[in-house]
A = this chain, B = another copy of it.
Amino acid sequence: MVFKSSTFSLLLFLFLFLLSPTKPSLALKHPQKPRKPCKSMSFYFHDVLYNGKNAKNATSAIVAAPAWANTTIMAGQNHFGDLVIFDDPITLTNDFHATPVGRAQGLYFYDKKEVFTAWLGFSFVFNSSEHKGTLNFAGADPLMNKTRDISIIGGTGDFFMARGVATLMTDAFEGEVYFRLRTDIQLYECW
């Protein structure tokens, strides 16, 4: 074969560059995917738990409890076994009275006797000029930790097929009646 050496060098460079394993989209299997989010958002949601006296304002209620407890008063042993259904307003700031941009709807339950820990399955249902659609969440919430990561397992509408990670932070709480969660959303799969 006859090449001008400079032509050959360029071809070789091109070939190696395009097949380089450090280029994620060209590696044939199990590429290291980029951990840079394709979308980042931050919200607050506000939970007011029914306690027998606040029917008008409550946004959530205990609906299941273990044999040793009931559905009005949180169970002993760090509320182990209490399951709560909620419809909580989502706001852009930490102000409970800000205009909601959607609702956080789903369930949480306390699942450890020795320390406060919960598990969450819920959706953000957006209905604002900025966002229409839903994001679906699932995961463990060891709520005594300053930050907790849960999974964003899917989405619809503006968030069609999204996946990601949400970092939860307890921004405020008042006894067993009110808590406010900051939710930092990072989507890593956008369509």
Contact = CB atoms under 8 A, between A and B. Distances in A.
A100 interface: no
Interface in A1-23: 1-4, 6-7, 10-11, 14-15, 18, 23
Given A156-B165, A161-B188, A63 B64 contact: yes
Interface of A is mostly: mixed
Given A122-B119, A139-B136, A71 B67 contact: yes
A83 B81 contact: no
A35 interface: yes
Interface string A25-39: 111111111111010
A117 B103 CA distance: 11
A87 B111 contact: yes
Given A29-B34, A109-B63, A151 B153 contact: yes
A36 B29 contact: yes
Determine how many copies of this chain the complex contains. Answer: 3
Interface string A148-161: 01111111110011
A133 B151 CA distance: 11
B85 A111 contact: yes
Nearest to A39: B30
A112 B164 CA distance: 26
A64 B72 CA distance: 13
A139 to B, nearest CB: 5
B136 A117 contact: no
A103 to B, nearest CB: 8
Interface in A76-110: 80-83, 85-87, 103, 105-107, 109-110
